[in-house]
Structure 1
Amino acid sequence: MSTPNIPKPTAAELDLLRTLWPLGSASARQVHEEIQKERPDVTYATVLRLMQIMHTKGLLIRDESQRSHVYAPAQAQDALQTNLLKDLMQKAFSGSAKALVMAALRSGISKKEREEIEKMLKEDKK
């Protein structure tokens, strides 16, 4: 079932969330420093603006008690990923988890990923 009240992040917003989740909460400057490790072309102004937009959308919460505002994800990583997955499953696979998994497996997975999946399935049977 789709969850329309939860905002869906754009690709850029997801990239920023992937940076922010391990930090927990951080200022725009701290997030910018982390992003620059892999993408030195990204400016501080871009990161700040994106974080402000994400706050307006409800993807980030902001603590304004300090001079430098501190941002944190509004949802835990696993909760957001679960919501996005449910939405994808409804929209692209008519609600079928089997069809989604089969498509993922056909798209190519590594040997290590296949072994992890098989182990998880075996443990689930126990």
Structure 2
Amino acid sequence: MERLRTQETLMARHKSPGPTDREMAILSVLWERGPSTVREIHETIKTDSETGYTTTLKLMQIMADKGLLSRKDAGRQHVYRPAVSQEKTQNQVVGDVLEKVFAGSAEKLVMRALSARKVSPEELKRIREMLDEMEGT
């Protein structure tokens, strides 16, 4: 019975629309470092959590099954790389949040994002430039 629940949990994870927080941590390392082994990823993220090596390995295997990572065998090591770009992943996550939390309202999403923390003058300038570009001015 316990094994069945574990399999159901793993299957549910495979159906999730976007990366989990732990998966995002791994993807962030890979986007920054480039192709890496499980050991290299584990050494980087273990400072952030109490995750064991085998947990990192299993999580990366699941991510490969989900299509988030690709794996290449290099002797006894497996080298992983993101299967999806950072931009595409960010677009997917933002799209999911937009639909689930803000009922599809980009205005509400942007207003909440801007009010959630102090925005630097440089960020505001880039936001204004992007809005001007979108308006065609």
- One of 25, 28, 35 as aligned partner of 1:15: 25
The corresponding residue for 1:68 is 77
The corresponding residue for 1:86 is 95
The corresponding residue for 2:42 is 32
Pairwise CA distance, 1:78: 0.3
Distance 1:6 1:63, change over 3 A: farther
Between the aligned partners of 1:98 and 1:107, the Cα distance in structure 2 is 14
Distance 1:92 1:47, change over 3 A: same
Between the aligned partners of 1:66 and 1:97, the Cα distance in structure 2 is 48
Between the aligned partners of 1:40 and 1:87, the Cα distance in structure 2 is 26
Sequence identity (%)? 40
Between the aligned partners of 1:40 and 1:100, the Cα distance in structure 2 is 30
Between the aligned partners of 2:107 and 2:48, the Cα distance in structure 1 is 36
Between the aligned partners of 1:76 and 1:30, the Cα distance in structure 2 is 20
Greater displacement, 51-60 / 109-118: 109-118
Q: Which amino acid aligns with 2:22?
A: A
Q: How many residues align?
A: 121
Higher relative contact order (CA 8 A, sep 6+): 1
Pairwise CA distance, 1:6: 7.9
TM-score, scaled to structure 2 = 0.73
Structure 2 unpaired stretches of 5+: 1-14
Greater displacement, 105-114 / 80-89: 105-114
Between the aligned partners of 2:93 and 2:120, the Cα distance in structure 1 is 26
Between the aligned partners of 1:40 and 1:83, the Cα distance in structure 2 is 25
Pairwise CA distance, 1:82: 0.4
Between the aligned partners of 1:29 and 1:115, the Cα distance in structure 2 is 41
Structure 1 unpaired stretches of 5+: none
Between the aligned partners of 2:99 and 2:62, the Cα distance in structure 1 is 27
Superposed CA RMSD: 2.4
